Amino acid sequence: MPIPMSYILFFMLLVLSLILSISSSSFFGAWIGLELNLLSFIPLIAIKMNSYSSEAALKYFLIQALASSLIIMSTSLTFTYPYASSFIILMSLLLKLGAAPFHFWFPQVMMGLIWPQVIILMILQKIAPMLLISYLMNNDLISKTLILSAIFSALIGALGGLNNMNLRKIMAFSSINHMSWMFMALTISETMWLMYFIFYSAVSLSVILLFNYLQVYNFSSMSTLSPLTSLTPLVVPMALLSMGGLPPFTGFIPKWILIQVMISSNMIPTLFFLLTSALITLFFYLRIIIPFFLLSSPSISFYNKMKYNNNSLIYYFFIFFNLIGLMFPLTFIIP
């Protein structure tokens, strides 16, 4: 199916708005970039022209407009109440990200998106707000508030995905959970956050592309999936376990580095919440994975598993990417 030119145009505008936000020297310039970002993403959501995408576009617009209004309002307090101004800006950016306790809209909007739009919302739309939050990390109030949001995001992201059967909602709560790790990385250093975000983006991209390739949107369709190749029962569990951060897959690398740094920084109580939530997220990933092991045919020969075709080539890429942590384990260990 050819990609519409309007989709390409709005996507390019979205990328340019991100560049404007992260390269701006003032919050006003960053706000303009965020507004352009909103105006370019709304048409991308509504491009399918159905009730689900229209509802998602409307919800996203209202939430982002509210957050932008809070940013503008906070500028009037910059000189008289600078700490209050920074706090309001932080709250508005957390709302834009869909982080707890302002997460309520994020799973609902995800339900109205197709997988390519999910990639944009889960990855690209996090870049500008996260970088703007990093500019605020110059006082103790912001750091403590961000740690509190990280704890809430970890618990809500883990518990929210337990009783969900829709893959987009599961990915939404998984993204909320990953934001808790990114917030903690941001309290340590921008470099640590950038490292975690790169790994998060790459692993999320591999999982979403796999779901898009298989055209699955809910748990029941995963259970009755007719494999395009006999590698499907291997690749899907591997990608999901990597997303959950199970060693020795790629998704475990940034968590392992962050765990070591948090231990050395004496952040043990917060780390406890993050690790507990990580175990819970692994549980609902295992719920998706188990049918692949139970329903896969044991009669498939080794030759059929390794037989080359175009589908297998794509699967081999996913296998290679999610096993980077196994192939180069010592590279990512901090002494």
Kindly report, residue by residue over 216-259, the tens digit of the pLDDT: 888 777 666 655 555 677 778 888 888 998 888 888 989 999 99
When the pLDDT of each residue in the chain is averaged and rounded to a whole number, the result is 85
User: What's the CA dihedral at 209, 215, 219, 224 to 10 degrees?
Assistant: -130
- Provide the pLDDT for residue 325: 64
The number of helices, as runs of H, and strands, as runs of E, in the chain is 17, 0
Which pLDDT score is estimated for 169? 93
All residues at 6 or more sequence positions from 331 whose CB lies less than 8 Å from its CB, including other chains: none
Tell me the sheet residues that pair with 166. 218
CB distance 150 to 183 below 8 Å: yes
CB atoms within 10 A of CB 103: 23
106's tokens = 């994020």
pLDDT in tens, 99-130: 999 999 999 999 999 999 999 999 999 999 99
DSSP state of 26: S
Alpha helix ranges (H) inside 46-161: 51-75, 82-97, 105-111, 115-119, 125-135, 140-160
What 3-state DSSP class applies to 265? coil
What range does the domain containing 144 cover? 5-332
Rounded to an integer, the average pLDDT of 268-291 is: 90
Quick check: helix, strand or coil at residue 248?
coil
Q: How many domains does the chain contain in total? A: 1
Least Cα distance to 178 among 120, 251, 248 occurs for: 251
CB 186 within 8 A of CB 146: yes
**pLDDT given for residue 7 in this prediction:** 85
Signed CA dihedral, 293, 284, 282, 109: sign only: positive
